[in-house]
Structure 1
Amino acid sequence: MQQIILKGRPFLVLILIFILTACGGDDDGPGPGPGPGPDPDPERTAQDVINDFENLVINEGTNDLELESIQEGVFWKFRLIVPEGASPTNKRPLVLRLHGAARSGSPEAHLSTECLVEPGFQGKDVFILSPNSNGLFWYQEPNIVQVQALLELVSSRFDIDQDKVVSMGYSDGGNGSWFFAEFNSVFFGDQFSASIPMASSYRNPPGDGDVSKIDIPLYVIHGTADDLFPIETTKGFVDEYIAAGTDVTFVEAEGLVHNNPCTYVSYLREAVNWLETEVWD
């Protein structure tokens, strides 16, 4: 299934993103009610989210976390893997990992990092941030807000090398990685240095419109036997982006099918080598 993206859509969530990344805000006081006194059901503020994140116990290694968003009762579930030895003099890369089957609504979808991203980046001492899609595509507004906010919160608390932040994902997560790369400037302040979409099928805009150049390099991996997203279709999209001026490395994973992401580890390791030697060098 192909994403449907509206190019240049003026997402209203930009306002929410700005609020969430601010250090604080004015208190408008109690809402309307019968008489003086505090609002009996106050709304959450950006500072509430920041404070809650700062109060989370996060250790080196794997941390499975939950954070209430700025919308009361709406929680972000995410895994954060913290490498040993990160410090102001030893800042480490950050990998944003987007899981597949985004619309499944599985509360544990973000926990499957042992299958691909962890062995793919084994020995590289990177931070891995793996959010849950909450049953929505990654390009939908709530997930743009979630990812942008979590990136800001993690970067503000930990020693992240801001020149080495990469998004990667598989299937729906691969499509999300394409989208975040294309709108890197709009939503993420050019935070990503590269993108690694795997088993994806992304084109923006859908149909016959011309695609636009993406300003960061992409390393696109696709199985030759992918039975959900045919490789011919994805290769056609890749060729269009290359023609538009995008730096795309396209790698065919010989004989690999769609629903077995764990078999792509060796190809992800090659992508990591590309990051270290051609992007981050």
Structure 2
Amino acid sequence: MTMNTTKIKLIIICFSVFVMNCSNDSSDDTTNRTYDDVRTDFQNLNLSAGINDVSLLNTGNFLWDFRVIMPNNSSGNRPLIIALHGFSGDNTDAHKATACYIEPGYASLDAIIISPNAGSFFWEDLINQQQILSLVDLAVTYLPVDPNKIVVTGYSAGGNGSWFSGEVQPNVFSAAIPIASSYNTTTNGVARLIETPMYVIHGENDELFSLELTEGWVNQAIDAGADITFVVAPNLTHLQPCSYVSYIEDAADWLVNDIWN
């Protein structure tokens, strides 16, 4: 699978024009900020091995807050993991919650991990889809990223966001790994064909998103032709993200053995 960078950049440009046209103060010079300015600022970031917490001014004169985790091994192009946090209620530090399951779960991949902040919006909202695609574009352009090994993952609301991003951007993501999610794969009762391979992890005792409902939507998508591996985590509930590490490690092995081989 190859990444359609032209498609990504077109979405970014269209959204940037929309934001600039909707500005309340057209006399403010910062509204003339272009995506080329964003690219220059990203290129000038001093990203070291380990955790880097970044704020980047976007074309709409607002900040993207995100975490970039650079691997110690930077030889050759690395996989890129876009990690979407759960619902945060506009928690400005929500994107920093990577230590208990994202980092250890994907450690074997020695990947570059980017964890953005959703702000007060859902991941499915246009403003966050633009952020996700922009960060992918910037990472591919300026970091040692293998464009054929880009994955979106997330927990809870982030799991739903990874379902959505995987479904609508099959030319960008080689796979999606939703965890503790609940995503309707049907429209008017008819299952949609989801082209991006999915590895869906769900807790047996999830009290927020029932196992039966999620499994039903997964099965309908599979019947429609989707490539989905569905894994049930015995006894786990919705509020135990750190307990999903071993299941994420299995998902990382699935990427290597079944998707990227």
Q: Same fold (TM over 0.5)?
A: yes
Aligned counterpart for 2:177 among listed residues 178, 196, 199: 196
Structure 1 stretches lacking a partner, 5+ long: 1-12, 22-32, 34-38
User: Which residue is 2:68 aligned to?
Assistant: 80
Maintained 8 Å contact 2:185/2:221: no
Larger Rg: 1
What CA deviation, in whole Å up to 9, does each residue of 1:32-56 have, x standing for no partner?
Answer: x9xxxxx663521112211221222
- Does the 8 Å CA contact 1:195/1:216 hold for their aligned counterparts? yes
Matches of residues 260-279 of structure 1 in structure 2 within 5 Å? 260-279=240-259
- What is the alpha-carbon distance in structure 2 between the residues aligned to residue 170 and residue 61 of structure 1? 22
> Which of 135, 145, 148 is the aligned partner of 2:133?
148
Aligned to 1:237: 217
Tell me if structure 1 keeps the 8 A contact 2:201–2:232.
Answer: yes
In the alignment, what sits opposite 1:17? 12
Aligned CA distance change for structure 1 residues 212 and 255 (closer, same or farther; 3 Å): same
Among 96, 101, 118, the alignment partner of 2:87 is 101
Aligned partner letter, 1:152 = D
Shift of 1:100: 0.5
Q: Is the 8 A contact 1:20 1:46 kept in 2?
A: no
Rounded to whole Å, the distance in 2 between the matches of 1:42 and 1:133 is 22
Mapping 1:244-263, distance limit 5 Å: 244-263=224-243
Q: Percent identity?
A: 42
The 5 Å alignment of 1:44-193 reads: 44-72=33-61, 74-87=62-75, 90-102=76-88, 104-185=89-170, 190-193=171-174
Runs (4 or more) in structure 1 with deviation over 6 Å come to: none
Kept in 2: contact 1:20–1:149 (CA 8 A): no
- Which structure 2 residue ranges, 5 or more long, are not aligned? 1-7, 17-25
| Corresponding position of 2:21 | none
Whose helix fraction is larger, Structure 1's or Structure 2's? 2
Contact 1:81 1:129 in 2 (8 A): yes
Equivalent residues of 1:184, 1:192 under 8 A apart: yes
8 Å CA contact 1:166–1:193 kept in 2: the answer is yes
Computed over aligned residues only, the root mean square deviation of the Cα atoms, in angstroms, reads 2.0
